């Protein structure tokens, strides 16, 4: 995962979204975009989403500071959930995955105080069925990384064994992000809820 430093700013963005800021649209659990271009910082990258819930994450503008783009569900039902009760973490994609893009970023509370301590990362490069589908829960070959660790957990079961008391951070939303150069579509996003439209 090349530019994990971007997550510091993105965690703040997602926390604001979780609090119900203007980032939220009036469309329930439907897909919401964020990107370096629209977040008002120095980064590039764009996200667009269709009415049918297909997002295009485009990081090909050549911004010298880097690019990021991604999606989240405004009304995720994962806040504060124990990891062993999470039953949907999946998405479909097109485009060639890189080491860390696109990926699910899942906030983790590891000490029980409700605040996010670290993120788990589920990248399409390390978790896919060969046909553009990422399913962290049900794919036994899905590698899951936590923080800046280089060696990941072999699958969701191994990840749960390493974090038996962890919950999803209640102060931030899970999201899908791409922060490498490239362009992808993301659809059928399941971050605690079923596939979401726009």
Q: What value does the mean pLDDT of the chain take?
A: 86
Chain center to CA of 193: 14
pLDDT at 74: 78
Neighbours of 141 (CB within 10 A): 10
- In whole angstroms, give the CA distance from residue 48 to residue 121: 23
pLDDT at 5: 37
pLDDT at 192: 83
pLDDT at 21: 32
pLDDT at 163: 96
Q: Where are the alpha helices (DSSP H) in the chain?
A: 6-18, 156-162
Nearest to 168 by CA among 84, 102, 100: 84
pTM of the model: 0.85
Q: What is the pLDDT of residues 107-130, one digit of tens each?
A: 999 999 989 999 999 999 999 999
Evaluate whether 99 touches 1 at the Cβ level (below 8 Å): yes
pLDDT at 76: 80
- In whole angstroms, give the CA distance from residue 171 to residue 187: 25
Contact residues for 195 (Cβ-Cβ < 8 A; gap 6+): 53, 187, 188, 189
| Better-scored residue on pLDDT, 4 or 59 | 59
Q: What is the pLDDT of residues 39-94, one digit of tens each?
A: 988 999 999 999 999 999 999 999 999 999 999 997 788 989 999 999 999 999 99
Q: What is the pLDDT of residues 140-176, one digit of tens each?
A: 999 999 998 888 999 999 999 999 999 999 999 999 9
């Amino acid at each position: 995962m090349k530019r994990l430093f971007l997550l510091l700013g993105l965690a703040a963005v997602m926390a604001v979204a979780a609090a119900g800021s203007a980032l939220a649209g009036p469309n329930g659990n439907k897909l919401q975009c964020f990107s370096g271009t629209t977040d008002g910082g120095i980064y590039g990258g764009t996200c667009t989403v269709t009415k049918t819930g297909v997002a295009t994450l485009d990081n090909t503008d050549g911004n010298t500071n880097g690019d990021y783009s991604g999606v989240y569900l405004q009304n995720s039902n994962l806040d504060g959930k124990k990891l062993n009760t999470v039953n949907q973490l999946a998405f479909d994609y097109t485009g060639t995955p890189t080491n860390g893009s696109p990926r699910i970023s899942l906030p983790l509370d590891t000490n029980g105080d409700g605040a996010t301590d670290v993120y788990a990362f589920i990248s399409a490069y390390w978790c896919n069925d060969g046909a553009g589908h990422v399913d962290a829960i049900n794919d036994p070959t899905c590698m899951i990384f936590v923080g800046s660790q280089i060696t990941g957990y072999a699958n969701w079961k191994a990840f749960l064994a390493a974090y038996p008391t962890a919950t999803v951070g209640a102060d931030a939303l899970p999201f899908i992000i791409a922060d490498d150069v490239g362009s992808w579509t993301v659809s059928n996003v399941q971050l605690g809820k079923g596939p979401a439209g726009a």
